[in-house]
Amino acid sequence: MSTYSASKTVALPQSAEEGAAFAGRPLSLPASVLANGTGIFASLAWVAFGLSCLWWEDLGDWSRTHGLAIAAFVIGGGILVATSAAKWLGRVGAGLKTRVPWLLALGLFLTLWEVATAKFAWLPLPFFPPPQAIIEVYTDDLPKLLASVWASVKLQLGGYAIGAAVGFLTGVSIGWSRSVGYWVHPLLRFIGPVPPTAWLPFAFFTFPSSWSASTFLIALATGFPVTVLTWSGVASVSNGYYDVARTLGAKPSFLVLKVAIPAALPHVFVGLFMGLGASFAVVVVAEMIGVKAGLGWYLQWAQGWAAYSNMYAALIVMSLLCTGAITLLFTIRDHLLVWQKGVVKW
């Protein structure tokens, strides 16, 4: 009869020194086991969300509950399969591992949201619509929502491009020339601290159309941080760079284009980032007041008709647009500042 020997499966310490080292060794699980465990819980969270959609009856009349449950089951199964095969998916699998905790949190949040609104009305309706009500907006009111998105994107891009260009040129001029700074700096101190929305009456009275007035306000919100950060970047360039370039026979134009501006680019992108956030705030306010299209107008329309699901759907789209714009800006920054990799920390 065979006997069981623990020494065949576990390497036991053979001396007092080895025993002390073995006792002090921390117990840890492989990263793959932890990732798979988190993936299983994330999958179960999405399955629970699907079951919460089907287990109880809806308190309202929403037509997308069944389809939302099926989508939750599919997502839960996809998470389980993808996390199990992450080591064969390369970079996609590595990226998925880092996002699995967020998928778990999202599944739990959606489950709680569904139960607290559509099933038991712990949050009062219609002020807090369930997830399927948001899905209905994206399927039933998609043409109007897309038209509003396109109007906001056109307005945002126009004003942001003008403000960024003017702010960049002004900042370089102030940082390079003391005479320009003498005249422009007092204007910046006078106009810059005033919130762009405070210029609404002036803009809508002065400009011929609400579209041009809104473009001016967006450009104003973008231009001030870009100007200040570009000016700071050019002014902070070390004099040693200029001395080396002059020693090699560089002209003033070369010093500006090839020395000052490249060295100031990290500051410029900080200004572009700050201007992007400010411009998004202004575009919503401008569309709510004067422009008859766009996401700001859509929010105002939804609030007037007490269509809170439409309002939340527009807010989600607006958040995704802002996130996408920031991601694009960071991608451009990483491409242009590849020579400063490891120096830029934001």
| Least confident span in 29-33, 41-45, 56-60, 151-155 | 29-33
Question: Is residue 328 predicted with pLDDT exceeding 90?
Answer: yes
Tokens standing for residue 249: 């026979």
In tens, the pLDDT along 190-228 reads 888 888 888 888 888 888 888 888 899 999 999 999 999
Q: Which tens digits make up the pLDDT trace of 101-141? A: 899 999 999 999 999 999 999 998 889 999 999 999 999 98
Cα angle value 336/330/233 (rounded, 5°) = 60
As given in the structure block, the two tokens for residue 148 are: 């509003």
Q: How confident is the model at residue 79 (pLDDT cuts 50, 70, 90)?
A: confident
| Whether residue 2 has pLDDT greater than 50 | no
The long-range contacts involving 148-153, CB below 8 angstroms and separated by at least 24 positions, are 148/293, 148/294, 148/295, 148/297, 148/298, 148/314, 149/295, 149/317, 149/321, 151/287, 151/291, 151/293, 151/294, 151/295, 151/297, 152/283, 152/287, 152/294, 152/295, 152/296, 152/318, 152/321, 153/321
Please tell me the predicted confidence (pLDDT) of residue 82: 84
Which of 57, 68, 56, 42 is closest to 134 using CA atoms? 68
Least confident of 40-44, 276-280, 338-342: 338-342
pLDDT at 343: 57
pLDDT band at 286 (very low <50, low <70, confident <90, very high): confident
Check whether 324 has a pLDDT greater than 80.
Answer: yes
Q: What percent of the chain has pLDDT over 90?
A: 41
pLDDT at 344: 58
pLDDT at 14: 52
Label residue 320 by pLDDT band (50, 70, 90): very high
Tell me the CA end-to-end span of the chain in Å, nearest whole number.
67
Contact assessment for residue 126 and residue 308, using Cβ atoms and an 8 Å cutoff? yes
Average pLDDT for the chain: 83
Q: For position 24, what pLDDT does the model report?
A: 47
- Residues 13 and 101: their CA atoms lie apart, in Å, by 38
- Percent of the chain at pLDDT > 70 equals 86
pLDDT (0 to 100) of residue 292? 76
Q: What is the pLDDT of residue 251?
A: 85
d(CA 305, CA 134): 16
